[in-house]
Amino acid sequence: MKNSIWGFVFAIALCLSFVAVAYAQTGSVLWQEDFNYGSVAQMEAAGWSVDQNPAGVTVDSEGVILNGANGDALIRYYGTFPAVNEWKVESRSMWPGEGHSGSGVNIITEKHSYGFTADGWYSQFGLYRDNVVVLTFGTYQEVAGAWLTLVLVKQGNTLSMYFNGALVNTYEEQDTQNSPTVRVDIISPWRGDVKYDYYRVVALDGSGGTSDNEIWCPQSPAMGIAAPVVSIVMVGAVSLLMGAITIPIASISNGFARATAKAKDLLPNAFKSWLEDFIASRHRLGIEEKKGSPFIPTKPELLVYIISVVVLALSFAYAKVDNLSQILTVLPVIFVTSILVGLVKSLSLNAFTRSKGVWSERKFWYIGLTTFIVTTLAFRMPFSTPARNVSFKPKMTDRLRGILACCDILISLAFAAFFFGLFLSGLTLIGSTGLAMCVIGAFFDTYPIVPMNGKTVYDFKKPVWAALFALTLGLYVAWLLLI
């Protein structure tokens, strides 16, 4: 069995190493600027030119700042730029608070220039064509320090304008001839003050790009780093704390643990009852032995599956969108993905366990659910699981327990490879979302902390755990960097 485990690990590593390389080559957008520069000189070396008001152009850790207090501040990108006829240009920006806001997205084509602005001076939106205002509309209320997303899309002859994910207007271009993109301009008008976090251009005419709206990815690498750190702190801290509470007072020598245990006796009975359930959720939940089909869940288990799938879908949909008004556009596809990950994957493992003569069920895991919600709301990076597979202990040998823990992690990686195949085949949202769910789930599950599978594998075979942990960590980092 040892050789087969190592063979499976090696096969998964080769498979996902290949798809990681393929993913890096595929990319998600044609051009993107994140403004990660230490100085304006570094920006200029990267292809940018400060064409107006150099004193008003500065950079900091969050992006580039264009301050037009003493006149228009204008920068232009003259580096290598994709030529496409149908496109989406997007920016994320905010008003630092001086003067008025003048956020916008501007793109230059061979024949025309287009710009969509949120004008804080006049409290309205505007569309510019060839530097002339052709459309003003709506109401825009500037708020200092608030990030906003502006998107201008050209498909066919229609220009569509989006503010924080909501379509706010459209405009019909009368010139029907193709006019490939040339560059982008970023301008802060006189007495305007704007900070830009990123600028990106996506191809919509089959020119080699993939619509960014179809890709699930963390909003920033920092959130992808913070989420696993917080999850390991939460699960580890609760594991230590609840371990102290459950140990009899007489056997405790540590002062903090003794005080914690004594404090428990002072709690109301209703709260203590809830606390006992919460403590039980930290340990391996117990179940009674049952008889039944390996493939058909019990009624209580079916409820767990339904709630888990709904929680998984809502969390990843919430993390995907910039504005809640967008959530219904991605929720159906992410819901289907959640069924494949939260239902099919877990059923597969339970069927395998039951086929070995050990009854296994899906149970809620309260600590995991709490961690899942916290990382979703705080980092838009769901990093945990709301439920776990639990087996009937009396028939579970140490060897079988270790093998099943390894299989749980490896099945997640196998599903990750499957979803990456869907992504490459053109099902980008379901593929990228499923890939994220499985890579995150596999990495989280290798933590060597009770009740994670990583702890079981660690106790079973330390070299096997080291290989699985290195594999899932490497894949997570690669996914985080490449996506």
pLDDT digits (tens, 9 = 90+) for 17-44: 443 333 333 334 678 899 999 999 999 9
Q: What percent of the chain has pLDDT over 90?
A: 33
Please tell me which of 126-130, 154-158, 419-423 the model is most confident about, judged by mean pLDDT: 126-130
Which range (199-213, 365-379, 392-406) has the least confidence? 199-213
Phi, then psi, of 364 in degrees rounded to 5 = -65, 145
Structure tokens at 424: 């490459």
Judged against a pLDDT cut of 60, whether residue 6 lies above it is answered with no
Q: What pLDDT does 224 receive? A: 83
Provide CB contacts within 8 A for 139, sequence distance 6+: 123, 124
Within a 13 Å sphere around the CA of 241, how many CA atoms are in the beta-carbon half? 14
How far apart (Å, rounded) are the C-alpha atoms in residues 478 and 472? 10
CA distance linking residue 42 with residue 17, whole number of Å? 33
Does 121 score more than 50 pLDDT?
yes
CA distance 169 to 158: 10
Q: How confident is the model at residue 361, as a pLDDT? A: 77
Q: Is the pLDDT score of 1 beyond 70?
A: no
Confidence of residue 360 (pLDDT cuts 50, 70, 90): confident
For the chain, what are the domain ranges?
2-27+220-482, 31-209
100 touches 191 (CB < 8 A): yes
The CA distance from 418 to 143, in Å, is: 44
pLDDT reported for residue 11: 44
Residues 6+ apart with CB under 8 A from 158: 170, 171, 172, 173
Question: Would you say residue 288 has pLDDT above 60?
Answer: no
Answer yes or no: is pLDDT of 46 > 60.
Answer: yes
Strand partners, 360: 391
Is omega for the bond preceding 451 within 30 degrees of 0, making it cis? yes
Distances (CA, A) of 7 to 4, 77, 413, 443: 5, 49, 14, 19
Q: Residue 323: left if φ>0, alpha if ψ -120 to 50, beta else—which one?
A: beta
**pLDDT number for residue 334:** 87
* pLDDT (tens digit per residue) in 303-315: 888 888 899 989 9
Amino acid, res. 288: E
- Sign of the four-CA dihedral 287, 290, 292, 294: positive
Those residues with Cβ within 8 angstroms of residue 102's Cβ, 6 or more apart along the chain or in another chain = 68, 117, 118, 119, 120, 121, 187, 188, 189, 192, 193, 194
CATH number of 31-209: 2.60.120.560
- Contact by Cβ (8 Å): 398, 1: no
Of the pLDDT bands very low, low, confident and very high (cuts 50, 70, 90), residue 82 is: confident
Q: What Å distances lie between residue 272 and 275, 284, 333, CA to CA?
A: 5, 19, 41
Residue 483 has a pLDDT of: 57
| Mean of pLDDT over the chain | 79
CA distances to 202, 333, 416 from 329, in Å? 19, 8, 24
d(CA 63, CA 48): 14
Predicted confidence (pLDDT) at residue 349 exceeds the cutoff of 70? yes
HEC string of the chain equals CHHHHHHHHHHHHHHHHHHHHHHHHHCCCCEEECCCCCCHHHHHHCCEEEEECHHHEEEECCEEEEECCCCCEEEEECCCCCCCCCEEEEEEEEECCCCECEEEEEEEECCCEEEEEEECCCCEEEEEECCEEEEEECCCCCCECCEEEEEEEEECCEEEEEECCEEEEEEECCCCCCCCEEEEEEEECCCEEEEEEEEEEEECCCCCCCCHHHCCCCCCHHHHHHHHHHHHHHHHHHHHHHHHHHCCHHHCCCHHHHHHHHHHHCCCHHHHHHHHHHHHHHCCCCCCCCCCCCCCCCHHHHHHHHHHHHHHHHHHHHHHCCCHHHHHHHHHHHHHHHHHHHHHHHHHHHHHHHHCCCCEEEEECHHHHHHHHHHHHHHCCCCCCCEEEEECHHHCCHHHHHHHHHHHHHHHHHHHHHHHHHHHCCCHHHHHHHHHHHHHHHHHHCCCCCCCHHHHHHHHCHHHHHHHHHHHHHHHHHHHHHC
Q: Averaged over 416-438, what is the pLDDT?
A: 84
Identify which has the larger pLDDT, 346 or 382.
382
Q: What is the pLDDT of residue 353?
A: 76
The pLDDT of residue 252 is 42
Which of 237, 240, 149, 194 minimizes the C-alpha distance to 53? Answer: 194
Rounded mean pLDDT, 446-462: 88
pTM over 0.75: no
pLDDT at 5 over 70: no
Q: Once rounded to an integer, what is the mean pLDDT over residues 383-398? A: 74
Mean pLDDT of the region 424-431: 75
pLDDT at 14 over 50: no
Neighbours of 216 (CB within 10 A): 24
State residue 209's pLDDT score.
40
Catalogue the long-range contacts made by 37-45 (C-beta closer than 8 Å, 24 or more residues apart).
Answer: 37/64, 43/75
Locate tokens 């009975």: which residue? 269
Percent of the chain clearing pLDDT 70 (strictly above): 76
